[in-house]
Amino acid sequence: MPCVALLSDVLDMHYLAPAFREHCPDIDLRLGKDLGPLDQIDAAVCWYPPHGLLAQLPQLQLVQSLAAGVDHITADPQLPRALPLCRIVDPEMATGMKAYVCWAVIHQQRQMPAYLASAAVGAWREQTMSPPGRHRVGIAGLGTLGLACAEALAAIGYSVRGWSRSAKADLPPGVAGFHGDAQLGEFLSGCDTLVCLLPLTPQTQGFLNAELFARLPRGAHLINVGRGAHLVEADLLRALDRGELSAATLDAFTQEPLPPEHPFWADPRILVTPHIATRTDVSVIAQQTLNNLALLQRGERPGTAVDLDRGY
Ligand code: NAP
């Protein structure tokens, strides 16, 4: 009977319990403040786990993120780095992200904010229209989610490019690939819309900054669906004021929930969504956790284990 702890400093993890019990009726689930004997816990499912707690679980075999990213776990300075740390990789999560990113690109490129303003006053007013093929969308991060978005945007006619750490063979048709710091400038110079789908690591923190904005085509649209800490918020406001950027669609923030007094809410150039670009199905979290634990107990390494040296 597996013993699984659901750990978070910021989220009530009870919503996960029914899915775990459905997949494993005998499971010993530990939640909340009293986790019982710590030496019985085999796996920990985490979203911002309390710092230092994982290091106190002597029999822990698996640290499982309930999300695609693991930055909320690697932020723990006492993370036991010898243990496998797995993330969720789920086709449905990619489908949700594709829908969000396509919507965000189209919303700006087809001038929907102007149509919403016209509709509010009953005005039949056409905006200029250019075909998707003349709009260049760049995706920073060509992983599971970035690749899915690149493919979807190319399929509806956008001119798509992507940037990753390593070179990519077999990119979807119509997607141009760039990689590494040496090709970053060339990549950015062709992004009328830039989508950030990077993992948050020490290398990518603050990636969306003044220097980067100045390298984009003037008036570019920024979509951040990565993490809040990818963005230097003050640099974004300055780039919008200078006209380097025309708009931003933001789904992730350093402080979540974004406080009501935050300047982004009231800025008509910025569209805020509350970290909803995509979600992980609870059943998938339960299934992948239990599968990963079973694999480890057979001495096999799960395919979704991250490389802690790379940070993703
Ligand atoms: P992934 O499969 O690990 O892919 C990460 C991509 O980023 C890879 O292409 C990687 O390059 C590239 N990359 C990493 N570090 C880089 C660097 N220093 N320079 C250039 N490229 C770099 O991740 P994923 O599953 O697509 O998820 C991406 C992120 O999306 C997650 O980490 C999370 O932060 C965010 N996310 C947000 C939401 C939301 O609702 N807003 C939901 C899910 C996920 P290589 O291919 O060369 O390794």
Q: List, for residues 127-180, the tens digit of each pLDDT value.
A: 999 999 999 999 999 999 999 999 999 999 999 999 999 999 999 999 999 999
Grade residue 117 by pLDDT with cuts at 50, 70 and 90: very high
Ligand 1 centroid from CA 27, angstroms: 32
pLDDT (0 to 100) of residue 279: 93
Grade residue 257 by pLDDT with cuts at 50, 70 and 90: very high
Nearest one of 145, 253, 271 to 208, comparing CA atoms: 253
Ligand 1 centroid from CA 43, angstroms: 24
Residues counted in the chain: 312
Q: What is the pLDDT of residues 63-111, one digit of tens each?
A: 999 999 999 999 999 999 999 999 999 999 999 999 999 999 999 999 9
Q: Residue type at 60?
A: L
pLDDT, averaged across the chain:
97
Residue bearing the CA closest to ligand 1, atom 7:
141
Nearest one of 95, 100, 53 to 73, comparing CA atoms: 53
Q: First vs last Cα of the chain: how many Å apart?
A: 30
Q: What percentage of residues in the chain have a pLDDT greater than 90?
A: 100
Q: Which atom of ligand 1 is nearest to the CA of 204?
A: 18
Pocket test for ligand 1, best of 48, 164, 171 (most atoms within 8 A of CB): 164
Residue bearing the CA closest to ligand 1, atom 33:
69
From the CB of 223, is ligand 1 less than 6 Å away?
no
Active site residues: 227, 275
Q: What percentage of residues in the chain have a pLDDT greater than 70?
A: 100
From the CB of 312, is ligand 1 less than 6 Å away?
yes
The total of other beta-carbon atoms located within 10 Å of residue 28's CB is 14
From the CB of 87, is ligand 1 less than 6 Å away?
no
